[in-house]
Chains A and B, each alone.
Chain A
Amino acid sequence: MPRETNPNFMAGVPELMILRLLQQRAMYGYELVQAIRLQTGDVVSLGEGAVYTVLHALEREAALSSRRKTVEGRSRIYYSLTARGLRRYRDLADTWTMLAGAIQSVIGRAGDASAT
């Protein structure tokens, strides 16, 4: 059973993961939601319908481009990363890595203190 994602920790996370996945290859909405679920071991699950609001917002900011493509008889909108999207991904990834490291160092110290 997947754990419910705490929304307080999720600000900016869907965007970061979507940009990362689209850096690898073009994907459509359903595929992105499944990929996030699979790659995070069900820890992070994006709302099925909510993914499109993030995708469309990124597209409006020219971080993504989209095109309709028919694959195996199904027509879908595939999203891919633009140069601006790649820059944005790098910025977000740097910020996230720095933040995660800082939080981890605090958690680590707190853990050491409680052990002594």
Chain B
Amino acid sequence: MLRPLEDVREQLLRAGISPRYANRYVRELGEHLADLTDQALASGLDADAAGERARAMLGGDALMARAVIDNGAPRSFAARAPWVVLVALPALLLMAAILANVFWTMHLLRPVHGLTPAQILDGYRGLLSVMSFVVSYLVAALLAVGCLAVALRQRLASGWLWVGLILISLLSGILGFHRHVTAPYGGRPGGPMYSVAAIVYLHGRASLAATLGVALLHAGVLFAMAATAYRVLRTHLIPGQKACAAGNN
């Protein structure tokens, strides 16, 4: 059962009306409904009858929502261009974060240029590792959360969301700026190495299969987490979805 006027908000959001405007409209209608209820109570009706009369005077949910939609209420940018908000923008932000990490890491490495890994302070190496971790995992996860939040708040169809989540997951799994310290092997000296992918070394040699496997595992884990979060949140946060989910089971 939806709260009074909640159905109006739902219809507006599903029609792409900006959430800010939909919330304001519903809030004003709620205040108007309270005034009408007071008026009906003052005329001598009991609380239930007053509530029903006020609701009838205000008008039907579908009619009120339609009036707003037909009257040129502002549509959200995400509703007008979901591919920009859910796909292009997060992908660009992730690439920008990766590039920023490259430049920042290079800048941090300048003072220790020429030193062997053993000569670099543990704390310094730790800082670089944390930065790689943040960019490779945390930024991508935050962008996925941002996409989920926009899609859920604005009741966007899930098509572009899935495309965006797959792209973020793949970019985050495959790209990145990774700093390795390889161990001496087979007479070759070890040392610091940098790559744009999390290259996996087996017996001292880069392994394409293992590298791709790790990248896809990384992407798969991120995508699975985001997809599960979306399905759970959608069922619990969007009115009417719980009933649909129960009906499908």
Which residues of A are at the interface with B, using a C-beta cutoff of 8 A? 28-30, 33, 47-50, 52-53, 56-57, 60, 74-77
Contacts and interface: CB of A to CB of B under 8 A. Distances in A.
B31 A76 contact: yes
Given A33-B32, A53-B67, A74-B31, 15 more contacts: A30-B36, A48-B32, A49-B29, A49-B59, A49-B63, A49-B64, A49-B67, A50-B59, A53-B73, A57-B71, A57-B72, A60-B72, A74-B34, A76-B31, A77-B28
A60 B24 CA distance: 14
A19 B183 CA distance: 80
Nearest to A51: B32
B35 interface: yes
A30 to B, nearest CB: 4
B64 to A, nearest CB: 4
A33 B54 CA distance: 14
B28 A48 contact: no
A104 B34 CA distance: 41
Contact of B59 (A30, A47, A56, A75): A47
Contacts of A56: 21, 25, 68, 71, 73
Given A29-B28, A30-B36, A53 B68 contact: yes
Interface residues of B, number: 21
Contact of A48 (B58, B71, B74): B58
A49 to B, nearest CB: 4
Interface of B: 21, 24-25, 28-29, 31-32, 34-36, 57-59, 63-64, 67-68, 71-74
A48 B60 CA distance: 11
Main DSSP-derived SS at the B contact region: helix
A30 B31 CA distance: 8
Given A53-B71, A56-B25, A57-B71, A48 B31 contact: no
B126 to A, nearest CB: 50
Contact of B25 (A30, A52, A74): A52
13 contacts: A29-B28, A29-B31, A30-B31, A33-B32, A48-B58, A49-B58, A49-B63, A50-B64, A52-B25, A57-B72, A60-B72, A74-B31, A74-B34
Contacts of A77: 24, 28, 31
Nearest to B21: A56
Contacts of B68: 52-53, 56
Nearest to A28: B31
B57 to A, nearest CB: 5
Contacts of B32: 29-30, 33, 48-49, 52
